[in-house]
Chain A
């Protein structure tokens, strides 16, 4: 199975900060990576797919980059609504899909 490792596990930031989260795959996944945002008690929300394509309706302050084994999610200017937990997910191999362990962005 492909393992996904996110860093950091927790990130403390302030409104207006530029925030970067890293996700590393245990083997190459090309660009088959998605990023999700999850708030307490809610389902995950798709932000980015295919490593860098913004899902419809997602603010442009979110961006994704990377390929093969290293990927980043960047929030260019952190907003109050962005305090949440973020997960990466690979979908390179048809089975199984795997998630990173999550990065909590807190004040």
Chain B
């Protein structure tokens, strides 16, 4: 069974930090680019970060650049997102997603983990 399971979400104060994890099972991980996408309550989807299969390339949306860091451990089939200097506007459900072959969209998604930034 294919599973992408995010964890690490929760309530954090503005300026605080969180580390999200995404554990992958049931599908190939090490040869695929991976992404984090977030969705604010009742709103649309926002891509925020991606990492290439061997971690040689990372990309970030302007909204999180300099505050968030994406990483992966292919041996553990896990993806991570270190989030620092969190703001109220970062409150969202965070999804990890696998990029399909040849960049053909995101073919597998986790169930999401909620991050709430509030004092």
Binding site for B on A (CB under 8 A): 32, 34, 36, 38, 42-46, 48-50, 53, 55, 87, 89, 91, 94-102
Contacts and interface: CB of A to CB of B under 8 A. Distances in A.
Contacts of A42: 111
B100 interface: yes
Interface of B: 35, 44-47, 50, 59, 61-62, 95, 97, 100, 103-107, 109-112
A72 B6 CA distance: 32
A72 B111 CA distance: 27
Contact of B44 (A32, A49, A94, A102): A102
A49 B47 contact: no
Contacts of B50: 95, 97
A99 B59 contact: no
A90 to B, nearest CB: 10
Contacts of B104: 34, 49-50, 53, 91
Contact of A43 (B35, B47, B59, B112): B112
Contacts of A96: 47, 59, 61-62
A46 B106 contact: yes
3 closest residue pairs by CB, A with B: A34-B105, A43-B109, A49-B104
